[in-house]
Amino acid sequence: MLNKKMEDAINKQLNAELYSSYLYLSMAAFFESKDLSGFANWMQVQAQEELSHAMKFYNYLVQRGARVTLPQIDEPPAEWESQVAVFEHVFEHEQMVTGLINDLVDLAVSLGDHATNNFLQWYVAEQVEEEESSSGVLQKVKLAGDAPSGLFMLDSELGQRVFNPPAPAE
């Protein structure tokens, strides 16, 4: 059974993961409106990843006999000034999520909740990958700038990304 503080914090994180999925889907729609289908694909895959992260939290709560709560998801932005602005937002958002995950780990440690701490270590590692990935794409987008040939090549590259669901917990 989860401590009520931990249950509430994980429910809050579940909502944050759903918001992340919603945010990336909004970014995908933005890129579709700019005829950048590869950029949109990258964001759609990112949205799927975040939804899978939310479901891992959902399933963990159920597994631990806790109550899942689903408050309203905040509305994400729908417009950005440029491709660079979108990926700057992505990188900043992933850094914020890293902070949220670290706060959950700190709470689990303070409560002596070793099972939850163990569960959260997957997210700690995942956030390292998320920050690296978003930073890498941001640097490429900055390099491409507004050059049509650079955007075309990057759009093609980002269109190759596919969703790989995380392995189920053992």
Q: Give the pLDDT confidence of 41-73 residue by residue, as tens digits.
A: 999 999 999 999 999 999 999 999 999 999 999
All residues at 6 or more sequence positions from 24 whose CB lies less than 8 Å from its CB, including other chains: 43, 44, 46, 47, 50, 90
Mean pLDDT of 109-121: 98
pLDDT for 170: 52
Mean pLDDT of 113-125: 98
Exposure of 67 in the CB half-sphere (CA atoms within 13 A): 6
pTM over 0.85: yes
Asked if residue 130 has pLDDT above 80, the reply is yes
- Show me where the domains of the chain are located: 4-70+79-158
All residues at 6 or more sequence positions from 63 whose CB lies less than 8 Å from its CB, including other chains: none
Extended beta strands in the chain, E state: none
Cβ count within 10 A of residue 12:
15
For residues 31 and 75, is the Cβ–Cβ distance under 8 A? no
Q: Which CATH number fits domain 4-70+79-158: 1.10.357.10, 1.10.10.10, 3.40.50.720, 1.20.1260.10?
A: 1.20.1260.10
